[in-house]
Amino acid sequence: MTKSELRREKMELIEQMGVLFEKENLAPLAARIFATVILTGKQGITFDELVNDLNTSKSTVSTHLEYLQATNRVQYFTKTGDRKRYFTINPSLMVNVLDDMLVKWESQKNVHEKVLVYKKKHNELAEKEQGVLFDLEFQRDYLTFLNEATTSIQKLKEKISQRNL
């Protein structure tokens, strides 16, 4: 693969990732900046490189970079003797995303456990009165999924946290 082909592939990925990030409520250019920073890696990318790569104005890039930093998606570092800032992904970003998922799933799990208890009580009474019973299979399957998914996410979070140390 040539350098030109690899660059073309990177630009296509930036666009595809940008579309995904827009669905997560990022402005179109912020989404492309974020994707570019992700695909640049740990060496970072300078402000001027972002302006050139994305073919947009300095003020627009500046505005979106400030937003990405304020939302803890992107951070910067400097190199000794170099006045430029190099933008990279905030290493704790993925851990924060996983934490948010865990909180959401734990909340869902708590509600679905209560729903299961209610349905069981309903079924006990319905059996005595020859009423219609709830099918508990979905509730049990969903709780199993939430438990397994939560365990997997916690393991992934631990691996990521260990790498970031």
- Whether 66 and 121 map to the same domain: the answer is no
Q: How confident is the model at residue 128 (pLDDT cuts 50, 70, 90)?
A: confident
Sheet with 74-78: list strands edge to edge. 45-46, 85-89, 74-78
- Whether 84 and 110 map to the same domain: the answer is no
- Whether 112 and 39 map to the same domain: the answer is no
**38, 60, 89 - which closes a domain:** 89
Structure tokens at 127: 């059996």
- Whether 10 and 81 map to the same domain: the answer is yes
Domain with 122, as residue range(s), is 93-164
Q: How many CB atoms lie within 10 A of CB 37?
A: 24
User: Number of folded domains in the chain?
Assistant: 2
Distance between start and end Cα atoms, the chain: 34
CATH number for 10: 1.10.10.10
* The pLDDT of residue 150 is above 80: yes
Model pLDDT for residues 98-124, shown as the tens digit of each residue: 999 999 999 999 999 999 999 999 999
**46, 72, 89 - which closes a domain:** 89
Model pLDDT for residues 4-31, shown as the tens digit of each residue: 999 999 999 999 999 999 999 999 999 9
Closest C-alpha to 156, from 74, 101, 110: 101
- Whether 30 and 72 map to the same domain: the answer is yes
- CB-side exposure of 4: number of CA atoms within 13 Å? 0
Q: How many CB atoms lie within 10 A of CB 129?
A: 7
- Whether 98 and 30 map to the same domain: the answer is no
Q: How many CB atoms lie within 10 A of CB 14?
A: 22
Report the C-alpha gap between 77 and 95 in whole angstroms.
Answer: 20
Structure tokens at 111: 């509600």
Span 28-51, average pLDDT: 96
Report the C-alpha gap between 88 and 90 in whole angstroms.
Answer: 6
Report the C-alpha gap between 65 and 30 in whole angstroms.
Answer: 7
pTM of the prediction?
0.76
Structure tokens at 39: 């695909």
- Whether 122 and 102 map to the same domain: the answer is yes
**89, 122, 142 - which closes a domain:** 89
